[in-house]
Structure 1
Amino acid sequence: MKQVYSQVSTSIPKPFVKWAGGKRQLIPILNENLPRTFGTYYEPFIGGGALLFHILTERNGQKCSISDLNSDLVLAYTTIRDRIDELISSLKNHEKNYRKDSKSYYYSVRESNPRSEIEKTSRLLFLNRTCFNGLYRVNSKGKFNVPLGRYTNPNIVNEENLRSVSSILQTSRVAIKCRDFEAVLRDAKKGDLVYFDPPYQPVSDTANFTSYTNKDFTDSDLRRLTELCNKLDSKGCKVLLSNSDSKQVSDMFSGKPWKLTKVQANRSINSNSKKRTGHFELLIKNY
């Protein structure tokens, strides 16, 4: 009996990229805050997809629609779903070359600009596994600019997880799109659940994080997001939002129907490990 259980438990899909603000450690709290029933699940800032994979695992056949403005990330989801064998073979090639000379190989891949979809996704996953702190960041020109990390034996291929992600994306009804978050308003209907996990507003002047896409998530984007949440609420959608515990965010959601909860969250990405703990963030919902 035990053996069967371990086989099942090892193949639960998990995020295939480490993403700033990733939600893996908050899944128990997010799960408690999900509505008991909902129609389609929408996630317009998909990032690492921790909550998506949790919902797909727990709710068999759940209809989902995920999107992001980061076209490389969206491509990674569709490539893992549709072309997993070719992707794994490309990653194995990266792993072999990295073992020979990690530093020079890392920087040559970072400088490269592959054309094929397989190589683009393979490059993103390779850099994410081997760069400093697993931080995905691009500069104002859209170039990935994170230095090499200090890893003795990074798990570059992570084949088992990639295959379980691929199979759950294939077997489930998941639409994957590259688009701005506001587009969700056209699709979401009464009773659907929309979860927003945008790049967070900085809680201090020094906390500003250079962006995941080369367009920063600005104050005006936050205002657009707040208006969108109110429009979705008036449509009868269930809305759940994660953001930083900042005065700006709590002021914007201070009225009805919004309920705000403070949750403790460790930051998996900070160069100083002492600064990774003791952070609070807000969970905001209308149900």
Structure 2
Amino acid sequence: MKQQYDQILVTPKPFVKWAGGKRQLIPILNENLPKTFGTYFEPFLGGGALLFNMLTERNDQKCSISDLNSDLVLSYTTIRDKIDDLINSLKNHEKHYQKNSKKYYYSIRESNPRSQIEKTSRLIFLNRTCFNGLYRVNSKGKFNVPLGKYTNPNIVNEENLCSVSRILRSSKISIKCRDFEAVLRDAKRDDLVYFDPPYQPVSDTSNFTSYTNKDFTYDDLSRLVELCMKLDSKGCNVLLSNSNSQKVADMFTTKPWKIFKIKANRSINSNSKKRTGHFELLIKNY
């Protein structure tokens, strides 16, 4: 039945809001991509804004995408393989949410479904209806964001989900759940590796956002920097996004690294006045 969606010509966009999402930075990121490259690797997939934009413009592009968040990776594979069942499940969530949004939201937040379809529809439902569309889990791995104040959230967004499903079905795209360091085994000369990790705090009073229940620590950042150096020595193209942090900049002072400071807004900061006027770093070796 999923063939009925093959002719939908909607440009695919991220199906979840994700802290640090890159939709607003796509024009700048596009300007900073190499003219040509082999396989595209993205080991901190998140919402996949750059991936979807790239596949729209280069539909023959070979991609290897991954993330350590198993629920997120499951969502990508479910959308790819079981789109009809997922949409039906989301429509069911929408129907119950409209009857009693608060009661239903917290009942789903407390639930722990076992099936692939229900796990994915729960993640998308909570992401669409929670406060600020923020994905956050506590130290026990439990989603803990309160209900958002929406009058009519777009819970199903059928056209976009079908478009995402269609584009992910390419045999040239592989989706894995794994630590970012695993990319070193697969990436070859002239491939492009784009890193968009949880950002380094810009001050001692700010924190990392927990995308998984394992925080991305300063040690992880050091591992990432070392990995960038190894990929560079293999002849890979490396592009890295991070916060406008002096610590990060100091780690890339040698050749061939080039550091650019770019303007970026924070679309899911709880304080709307703090969403603008931010800068972040774009670092590359080509």
Indicate the TM-score class for this superposition, using the shorter chain for normalisation.
over 0.9
- 1:51 — aligned with what? 50
d(CA) in 2 for partners of 1:265, 1:39: 28
**1:266 equivalent in alignment to 2:265:** yes
- 2:136 — aligned with what? 137
* Higher percent of residues as helix: 1
The answer to whether the Cα contact below 8 Å between 1:135 and 1:269 also exists between their aligned partners in 2 is yes
The answer to whether the Cα contact below 8 Å between 1:47 and 1:73 also exists between their aligned partners in 2 is yes
State the secondary structure of the residue aligned to 1:93.
helix
- 1:222 — aligned with what? 221
d(CA) in 2 for partners of 1:13, 1:207: 33
TM-score norm. by structure 2 comes to 0.96
The Cα shift of 1:279 comes to 0.3
- 2:4 — aligned with what? none
The Cα shift of 1:254 comes to 1.0
The answer to whether the Cα contact below 8 Å between 2:198 and 2:209 also exists between their aligned partners in 1 is no
Partner letter of residue 52 of structure 1?
L
- 1:208 — aligned with what? 207
Q: Deviations over 1:167-220 (max 9, x none)?
A: 000135110000000000000000000000000001123321440100110000
- 1:3 — aligned with what? none
The answer to whether the Cα contact below 8 Å between 2:17 and 2:134 also exists between their aligned partners in 1 is yes
Q: Deviations over 1:237-283 (max 9, x none)?
A: 00000000101000001111100000000001111101000000000
Count of residues paired in the alignment? 280
Q: Which runs of 5+ in 1 are unaligned?
A: 1-7
Instruction: Percent identity, please.
Output: 82
**1:122 equivalent in alignment to 2:121:** yes
Partner letter of residue 31 of structure 1?
N
Aligned counterparts, 1:167-246, within 5 A: 167-171=166-170, 173-246=172-245
Q: Deviations over 1:57-84 (max 9, x none)?
A: 1112100000000000000000000000
The Cα shift of 1:9 comes to 10
TM-score norm. by structure 1 comes to 0.96
Large movers: runs of 4+ above 6 Å: none
d(CA) in 2 for partners of 1:172, 1:25: 28
Partner letter of residue 48 of structure 2?
G
The answer to whether the Cα contact below 8 Å between 1:139 and 1:210 also exists between their aligned partners in 2 is no
- 1:15 — aligned with what? 14
Q: Deviations over 1:91-144 (max 9, x none)?
A: 000000000000000000000000000000000000000000000000000000
Partner letter of residue 117 of structure 1?
Q
- The root-mean-square deviation of aligned C-alpha atoms, in Å, is 1.1
Assess, with a 3 A threshold, how the Cα gap between structure 1 residues 38 and 160 changes in structure 2: closer, same or farther.
Answer: same
Partner letter of residue 277 of structure 1?
T
State the secondary structure of the residue aligned to 1:207.
coil
Assess, with a 3 A threshold, how the Cα gap between structure 1 residues 9 and 123 changes in structure 2: closer, same or farther.
Answer: closer
- 2:251 — aligned with what? 252
State the secondary structure of the residue aligned to 1:243.
strand
The answer to whether the Cα contact below 8 Å between 1:75 and 1:117 also exists between their aligned partners in 2 is yes
Partner letter of residue 208 of structure 1?
N
